[in-house]
Amino acid sequence: MHTALQSLKARFAEIDDLRRAGSVLQWDMSTYMPQDGTASRGRMIATVEKAAHEKLIDPALAELLETASGLPEATLSTDDRAFLRLARRQFTRASKIPSAFKAEFLQHMAETYDVWIHARKANDFNAVAPFLEKTVRYSQAISDFFNSGETAWVHPMDPHIEDADPGMTTAGLTTLFADLRQDLVPLVRKLSSHTRPRTDFLSRVYPKPRQLEFLNWLAQSIGYNFNRGRQDLTHHPFMTKLGAGDVRITTRVDETNLCDGIFSTIHESGHAFYEVGISPSLDGTILGHGTSAGIHESQSRLWENLVGRSREFWAYFYPHLQAHFSDTLQDVSLEEFYHGINHVQPSLIRTDADEVTYNLHVMIRFDIESQLLDGSLKVRDLPGMWNDRYKSDLGIRPPSDAQGCLQDVHWYYGSIGGMFQGYTIGNLFSAQCYDAALKAHPEIPEAMMQGNFNVLHSWLKENIYQHGSSLFPQELIQRVTGRDLSSKPFLEYLKRKYL
């Protein structure tokens, strides 16, 4: 029976290798691939993913899983028990989706991504709308696959959410988000009425090559290891793990938007820290990845906002930034820079949003994709609905679809539903997590002022990173903070900082 467990691990290791090979193809498609390579690349990605999926639903794997699951728990290590739990979950979920359907959908995703890139540049929603309509149908079909048999989901978005953030539901998140919105909306209004700080210097001209030099140095200074990764340019920044010694980040540089590159780099570095910090014993197994979208996002948002937008952080880094762009920032003080990068103002672009208004952007998307999936909103009406929600929730109306419903890649390279909620889950847990770190090590802010992040890295690795996927999200949150996920610590953080 222990032989069955070892054989099962070997099979899942092969599946993991195939998925990582697919990630190499996807990384290249998003960074260096020639424009005309989309069709063949989409086919290649679909072939690799189909092979991984067929291995996962192989009856022989099911037999090994059943045999290994019969082992007495007392004879298994903690990691073995976690492995079997996750293996059963992955097998059960994968068994509901036909391999041919998955391959077909992946091919469609690659084609849609290419159309979206051009549609966003041209501000042409109509060009990508037929592809998005097809994505909605694919996403609804996935919901139907999971709504058969003994499982009956309350909302068609539930199985998508469960895939990204186990244990979460549409209803539960709707309640959590409503509580958050109740406090956020008046806070945004109050802060928006404050005197506007100086921000003119953020839109001066910062040449791309010099920005990239600084961004690479910045990533390395906060702990990113270029012997185990690299940073490249892309349309929509992301992190990808191609192996334990190859965790790559991407960024986006705008010569008249200094914050874009800086906070993209810090954000994606946070994702990379998580993956690099996973215990080496879990490498090559299904446990060797972050446990959920929301927990992963909590680590990137912790570094981007609670660390990267703090006064202590810039007390160390601003003199270096100022020296690197001495001709551009010589008339800007540290205090002016700090207030400028933390200015609260409703804006159109989610990835550019300040940390106070950011979650309103997420909740708009969460509500819209919920309506797309249940059929109450048609794709043709998406731009209008989007613009109306921005007007009612943030007080501004997008002047174009490029700044509206075309701005995010998610619906144009993925399914509808199940991803955006992770951003707000991440924001909430980042505050809970950082509170716990500060209680354990009150010296962390002082260390940051010296450019020292070792204590924070060590605490995060010990309490979060090393576990990989061996703990489910709620288990990890409870272990780290001693309480369930809550909006209270996040709101308290915002009020302490901004009021």
- Supply the residues annotated as catalytic: 268
Beta strands across the sheet bearing 231-233: 231-233, 246-251, 239-243
d(CA 292, CA 474): 10
Task: Provide the sign of the torsion angle of the four alpha carbons 223, 228, 232, 234, taken in this order.
Answer: negative
Q: Please, which residues have CB within 8 angstroms of residue 275's CB and are 6 or more apart in sequence?
A: 239, 241, 247, 289, 290
What is the DSSP track for 256-311? TBHHHHHHHHHHHHHHHHHHHTS-GGGTTSTTSS-S-HHHHHHHHHIIIIIITTSH
H/E stretch holding 250 reads: strand 246-251
Q: Please, which residues have CB within 8 angstroms of residue 20's CB and are 6 or more apart in sequence?
A: 241, 242, 243
Query: What values do phi and psi take at 342, rounded to 5?
Result: -110, 15
d(CA 355, CA 352): 9
d(CA 241, CA 249): 9
CA 298-412-139 angle, to 5 degrees, is: 85
177 forms bridges with which residues in the sheet?
A: none
Question: Which residue blocks in 147-244 are alpha helix, DSSP H?
Answer: 158-164, 170-192, 208-221
The token duo for 203 is 């839109």
H/E stretch holding 233 reads: strand 231-233
236 is annotated as contributing to ligand binding = no
The token duo for 210 is 């010099």
267 is annotated as contributing to ligand binding = yes
492 is annotated as contributing to ligand binding = no
Alpha carbons within 13 angstroms on the beta-carbon side of residue 8 total: 28
CA neighbor of 295 nearest in space, from 160, 157, 464? 464
Binding residues: 267, 271, 297
Binding residues for Zn(2+): 267, 271, 297
